[in-house]
Amino acid sequence: MERTLAILKPDCVNKNLIGKVVDKIVDSGFKIVGIKMLRLSQESAKGFYVVHRDRPFYDDLVNFMTSGFCVPIALEKENAVADFRKLIGATDPVEAEEGTIRKLFASSKQENIVHGSDSAENALIEINHFFSRDELLG
């Protein structure tokens, strides 16, 4: 089994879409092995998105991710990373395939409802950013 990290972003929480997005995730065969609601600090958001620190959107991303509560979710499934990225769709909801989470619920490239790990290696790092071993099933 492979694990991946989802983060329901502040726009998802503010639009009261947590239940709809979680239903779509679970209905797609993912098992939730950890979940919590929190508000990221600037330090935590900067650390999480450090790979983007030299990109022009970095400050906006950090500010957006600290603007409200978010919901990190550790997920498990065979091919979890690839399957979750397919489920959420392209970063820009205009380019996302029909039926994907971003096509259904996102309003823009920045406010795109959900984060998904881009590799199995990064998924482990990202899950460990939000969850201790005691907070995860199995």
Q: Which residue has the tokens 């939000």?
A: 130
All domains of the chain, ordered by start, with CATH? 2-132 (3.30.70.141)
- Residue 51: per-residue pLDDT: 86
Higher pLDDT, 89 or 138: 89
Q: Residue 52 catalytic?
A: no
Catalytic residue among 9, 24, 46, 115: 115
Reading phi first (left if > 0) and then psi (alpha if -120 to 50, else beta), residue 116 is in beta
Q: How far apart are CA 135 and CA 38, in angstroms?
A: 14
Per residue in 28-81, pLDDT (tens digit) is 999 999 999 999 999 999 999 998 899 999 999 999 999 999 999 999 999 999
pLDDT at position 69, please? 98
pLDDT bin (cut points 50, 70, 90) of residue 138 is: confident
Span 119-132, average pLDDT: 97
pLDDT band for 21, please (50, 70, 90 cuts): very high
Cβ atoms within 10 Å of 1's Cβ, excluding its own: 10
pLDDT, tens digit (0-9, with 9 covering 90-100), for 79-104:
999 999 999 999 999 999 999 999 99
